[in-house]
Amino acid sequence: MTEIIAPIVDCHCDTLWLFDRKEYHFNRKNRIGHIDLPRLQSGGVAVQFFAVCTAPIKDRGTPLEAALHYLILFDEMLARTGTAVLRVEKMQDLDEAEANGKVACLLALEGAEPLCGNLELLSLFYRLGVRCISLTWNERNCFADGCAEEISGGGLTRSGRLLISRMEALGIVLDLAHLSRAGFRDALELATRPPLVSHANCFRLCEHPRNLTDEQLKQLAERGGVMGLTFYPPFITGTKTASLDQLLDHFVHAASVAGVEHVGIGSDFDGISESVEELDHAACYPALLAGLRRRGFSFREIKQIAGENVKRLLKQNLK
Ligand SMILES: [Zn+2]
């Protein structure tokens, strides 16, 4: 079978947590973790989102202190890695990375807790390079309810609404992953630019509160959004294991409900304790692309899912 080449855009990883580990070096191939430069390069990754997720971190001070800590580690990584990587800050950075074969790295906040409810800090995080923000992690904060707040299930607060319009003005991508159903509905009503769901799967195939219902998938597509499908077995099968074909079922379903233009990849590498068979780390993307081909997607559609859809969304959001 011909090898399928399609640049990968991965909308979500938690690799920044690994930057704290002495035995981990981003520039070398590591025994631990899922992502490092050699594995991104051999997997054909063109754009990698790096999430700063502070809600579950308890030993790094306040969420603001923890976020600044990881932003510094990210900066140090970029400085050490030199010309092989490029930080995505504006639209043209994507073309420059592509033209020069660099891995484009995009900084994201997973949960807006580091803003401490203070919208002035948004422009500071923008200056520090953050270009994608999800309002919540699983729990409630001053902007919205997360998806684990099933009993209250509240929508966006006034601050949450304000945050979305300020993000749009700056050119920061709105990520709806982890949000409550009501918050998702509110955010879609408000957003004037295509939103991202950086890492989730299909509720129809796996009834997990982190997954999107068919109705949500359709609403996301109507707004020009994209959902990055994720490799975490509990969101695929509801168990600790998942085969590549069970993950591919989600790609097929999402494409049939939302349309292939609204499907992408959000691996959650380095944030997951179990992985999909044959997708052990970032060098394994060729197996995913071959699987998509096996399941009937055309070469054109595979390129869209692999990266073009999210690239389009980035160009519609970044300055
Ligand atoms: Zn997450």
Residue 313 CA, ligand 1 centroid: distance in Å: 20
Residue 213 CA, ligand 1 centroid: distance in Å: 17
- Whether 16 contacts 36, CB under 8 Å: no
- Whether 243 contacts 276, CB under 8 Å: yes
Q: How confident is the model at residue 56, as a pLDDT?
A: 84
Residue 137 CA, ligand 1 centroid: distance in Å: 7
* DSSP code of residue 213: P
Convert the pLDDT of each residue in 9-31 to its tens digit: 999 999 999 999 999 999 999 99
Spell out the domain ranges in the chain: 8-317
Q: Which tokens hold the place of 7? A: 């640049």
Q: How confident is the model at residue 58, as a pLDDT?
A: 83
Report whether pLDDT(4) > 90.
no
Helix axes 214-222 and 181-190, enclosed angle (nearest 10)? 10
- Whether 136 contacts 183, CB under 8 Å: yes
Residue 7 CA, ligand 1 centroid: distance in Å: 23
- Ranking 57-66, 218-227, 305-314 by mean pLDDT, the lowest is 57-66
- Whether 176 contacts 195, CB under 8 Å: yes
For tokens 């379903």, name the residue: 253
Helix axes 285-294 and 244-258, enclosed angle (nearest 10)? 60
Collapsing DSSP to helix, strand or coil, 156 comes out as coil
Report whether pLDDT(2) > 70.
no
Report whether pLDDT(3) > 80.
no
For tokens 């966006």, name the residue: 156
Report whether pLDDT(1) > 70.
no
Report whether pLDDT(5) > 90.
no
Residue 199 CA, ligand 1 centroid: distance in Å: 7
Residue 268 CA, ligand 1 centroid: distance in Å: 7
Identify the burial level of 292 via C-beta atoms within 10 angstroms of its C-beta, where 0-12 means exposed, 13-18 middle and 19 or more buried. Answer: buried
Mean confidence (pLDDT) of the chain: 96
Q: What is the mean pLDDT of residues 82-94?
A: 95
Q: What is the mean pLDDT of residues 237-244?
A: 98
Residue 227 CA, ligand 1 centroid: distance in Å: 13
Q: How confident is the model at residue 59, as a pLDDT?
A: 85
Q: What is the mean pLDDT of residues 28-37?
A: 96
Residue 3 CA, ligand 1 centroid: distance in Å: 31
How far apart are alpha carbons 141 and 156 in whole angstroms?
Answer: 10
Residue 88 CA, ligand 1 centroid: distance in Å: 21
Fold of 8-317: TIM Barrel (3.20.20)
Q: Give the start-end residues of each E strand in 32-158.
A: 45-52, 85-87, 103-110, 130-134
Residue 178 CA, ligand 1 centroid: distance in Å: 7
Residue 99 CA, ligand 1 centroid: distance in Å: 31
Q: What is the mean pLDDT of residues 261-272?
A: 97
How far apart are alpha carbons 69 and 128 in whole angstroms?
Answer: 12
Nearest alpha carbon to residue 176 among 54, 313, 5 = 313
Q: What is the mean pLDDT of residues 208-221?
A: 97
- pTM > 0.75: yes
Convert the pLDDT of each residue in 155-212 to its tens digit: 999 999 999 999 999 999 999 999 999 999 999 999 999 999 999 999 999 999 999 9
